[in-house]
Structure formats: structure tokens, C-alpha cells
Amino acid sequence: MTLPPVPSAVATVLSDLGTVRTWAADFYRDLHAHPELSHQEHATAAKIGARLSASDVELHTGVGGTGVVGLVRNGKGPVVMLRADMDALPVAEATGLDYASTTTVTDGDGREVSVMHACGHDMHVACLLGAVHLLATSRSRWRGTVVAVFQPAEETGDGARAMIDGGLAGLLPEVDVALAQHVLPASAGVVGTHAGPTLSAADSLRITVHGRGAHGSMPEASVDPVVLAAMIVVRLQTVVARETRPGEPVVVTVGSLRAGTKSNVIPDHAVIELNIRSYSEQTRAATLDAIRRIVDGECRASGSPSPADYDLFDHFPLTENDPETTQRVAAAFTSFFGDRSGPMPAQSASEDFSDIPTALGIPYCYWGIGGTDPQLYRRAEQAGRVAQDIPVNHSALFAPVIQPTLDTGIEAMVVAALAWLAPPQAAGQ
């Protein structure tokens, strides 16, 4: 197969990659060593702001809390949004790297927790900073506007919405497309795209069912919420087994069930916490409906004195890549990366990135880049031990190899952005 030639703008812009490689790697190591939890990305945001200013980029800070936006305005033309998330997780790092995090913070409950960039968001930031710098210093090669969005609080699912609520749209010209990437446990140097539903929608639901408390020896005086909750948990298993079309991926997990304090006291309520994953809004709505119907029905069957309370929290939207947008990104990747670019399966994880393009009413594409040492990955693959031997996101052992992950992430952002940005105006026009 002969590949289409790499557009000359891509080759020229990326010919300066060597000038950003060192500082971008240093920036990455510094972020990795100094992670911050969701909504607390103050030092991270300050470092990003300083770097963008050094790259001669229009800077907006404090968007939706700690969010940072960099704008490279370069004449009339398409407007491309590139997004990176920047928060870390309450995980104690066990990588043994010389730039491993030893950071601890006191959480809301007064407990000391370790903090680690266990999802690779530090890599996303370094890649985007490198890409924006390359685009900002090669303005003669393209026309349009590049919008770099550094989003807080992806892990809590509310950072993207916070930026929208914080006035993100008002800072920007009309955006044409939004692009984002995530480092994954795959061989470093590869990029993968997937059209359509790519990451699941996730919801957490807390249900409180009400009974009537009584002495454990007098069940006749009670409406027992323990039995009620138990019935609900069993009956909820029929949502996926009996109501969902076979082959449609849906998860309904009861992760927490709490009731009572003592063996001889019938409590007056029980709390059930569920996690729900789905790959279409229709399935999500049908699943939530089914849960509600089962809970309300069981409450009636038990003679519950008041209706159940529902609290939907930690909602992550479905990430559904626009097919046309994804095709354009995939074609640009194939042209640049050759056989290092390919299809990626849909992932069971969830993301809140799509809240931004959805609010702006624009198409988007979210792709994956590998972060695992290629040799390590090959050995694990040959031994059939990828699942056992390759640390995944959120693991205390997850840390991408800096190269070729960093180069690939910078290249992917530049290549995809230039698939939209216009060529420079010819002389004399």
C-alpha cells in the first residue's frame, strides 16, 4: 500500500520537534513528581500558564476553577480546540521512578492521602504544551485559531462542565471541532482511533429506601428495609439479564449496601449504591427507568411508608466520536504514522471531555496513544500476559515511558489540528 504524502505543513511544523522535546520532558517529570487532586490543580495551572506565556499564546486562567485556556489566533480560518486534562488521583505511587510522586495531602475527612498522576494526565498536558508551542511558532504555515484547553477535575467527572459554566464559550471564537487524547496501556508510539461510541457513559446512583424500625423480636411492628433492599439487589440483576438486548454492553453493579447497626434492631432505612455503564443514551435512559421501576415496585410490595430517594452523582457522559471527524483524524494519522496508526476498540472507561463539545454543539474525536515500553508490551503479548503484566491507568504502577510517548502525543495533536487548519494564504493575496 502506498500512503498519501504527509502534507508539507505537518512536516515543517514538526521539523522543530527537537526544540521542544527537552523542556516538554522536564515539564512532564515535574508534573509527575508534583501531582494535584481534582479541583486543586493550582500549581499545575500556574506552570501551564507560565509555559503558554513563554510560547507567546493568549492566556486565560481560572476558567471553571483552575482551568487554563491558551489561544493562538492566526487569521481567518478554522478554529480547532485541543484539550488535555490535568488532575491526579489519590493513589500512592509504586513505580520506583526517580521522578515518582511522594506528595500527600489532607482530604476533606482530615485523612492524609497520597497523590499520583496514575492516569497519565501529566503526559496529556506536556504533549499539548509541546504541540501548541510548535503551532504558535510556525504561524506562517497555517491559518485559523488553535484553542488549547487545560481542563481540571476529569477524574471527578465535573471539570469539563465547570469550564463551560465558568464561561469558556465566551472566551472563544466559534469552534469547528474539538480533539482530545488519552494515554493507554498499549505499546508506546502507536495511536488508535474509534468511530462512534468509544467510552461508556457512567452514572452512580444512591438509593435510600424507607422502612419502619422496630425491635428485632417484633417484625410484625416493622417494615424491614433490609429485606426490601435485598429484594431490590436481586431483582436488579434482571435488568441486564432480561431487559437489555443480548450483545448490548451494559453494567449494573451494586457496589455498596448499608443498613442497620445491631442484630436485634430492625433499622428504618437502607442505602444502596449503584454504578451503571452504557454505550448509548437510549440504553442509559432505559436502564435508569428499569432501576426506578424495580425499586418503586419493591417498595410498594414491602409497604414502605414513603417513596425511595434517588441521588444521581458522578455522571460521566457517553463519549461518541463523530464518524466524519474520526475518519479525518484517522486519515491524517495513517498518512503521518503509517502502520503505527490503527483502529482502537471501544473502552469501558469513561470521560467528561465530551461535555465541552456537546455544550458548544460541535463534533469531536477522542483517540488513544500507547504509553507502555514497546519491548515490555511485546514480551507480555507473546506470553499471553498483557492483562497480568502491563499496569493499567489508575494502578500505582502506571507511568508511561517518556519516549516515544511524548513525541507521539505531540505529533498526534499537531497532525490532527492541521487536518482542519487552513493552508497559509499565497503571497500577494
For residue 140, CA distances in Å to 43, 57, 425 come to 33, 15, 9
- DSSP single-letter state for residue 137: T
Amino acid sitting at position 303: G
Q: Closest CB to Zn ion among 119 and 344?
A: 119
User: Which among 30-38, 117-125, 271-279, 398-406 is the span making contact with Zn ion, rule CB under 5 A?
Assistant: 117-125
* Min separation Cβ 246 and Zn ion, Å: 30
Q: What share of the chain is helix, strand, coil (3-state, %, to 5)?
A: 40, 30, 35
**244 or 393: whose CB is closer to Zn ion?**
393
How many other CB atoms sit within 10 Å of the CB of residue 84?
28
115 sits near Zn ion (criterion: CB under 5 A): no
Residues in 218-277 at the binding interface with Zn ion, rule: CB under 5 A: none
Q: Which stretch binds Zn ion (CB under 5 A): 33-41, 119-127, 226-234, 331-339?
A: 119-127
Q: How far is the CB of 35 from Zn ion (least distance, A)?
A: 12
Nearest to Zn ion of 225, 368 (CB atom): 368
Could you tell me the smallest distance in angstroms from the CB atom of residue 170 to Zn ion? 27
Q: Which is nearer to Zn ion, 298 or 320 (CB)?
A: 320
Nearer to Zn ion, 334 or 393 (CB): 393
Given the complex with Zn ion, which of 79 and 349 has the nearer CB atom?
Answer: 349
Q: Which stretch binds Zn ion (CB under 5 A): 106-114, 115-123, 132-140, 379-387?
A: 115-123
Nearest distance in Å: CB 351, Zn ion? 7
Q: Nearest approach, Cβ of 350 to Zn ion (angstroms)?
A: 9
**What's the N-to-C CA distance of the chain in angstroms?**
38
Ranges of H-type helices in 82-215: 121-136, 159-165, 168-171
Nearest to 393 by CA among 218, 182, 112: 182
> Residue with CB nearest Zn ion?
119
Q: How far is the CB of 349 from Zn ion (least distance, A)?
A: 7
Residue type, 219: P
| Residue number, 212 or 394, with CB nearest to Zn ion | 394
Closest separation between CB of residue 119 and Zn ion, Å? 3
Distance CA(319)–CA(154), nearest Å, equals: 13
Task: Give the span between the Cα atoms of 20 and 129, in whole angstroms.
Answer: 9
Sites for Zn ion among residues 67-96 (CB under 5 A) = none
Q: Residues touching Zn ion: how many (CB under 5 A)?
A: 1
Closest CA to 222 of 259, 177, 174: 259
Smallest separation (angstroms) from Zn ion to the CB of 104? 19
- For Zn ion, the binding residue among 14, 72, 119, 177 (CB under 5 A) is 119
* Contacts within 8 Å (CB) and 24+ apart, 252-261: 252/276, 252/287, 252/291, 257/229, 257/233, 259/225, 259/226, 259/229, 260/226
| Of residues 47 and 182, the one with the C-beta less far from Zn ion | 182
Residue 8 has which C-alpha cell?
A: 508539507
Contacts with Zn ion, residue ranges (CB under 5 A):
119
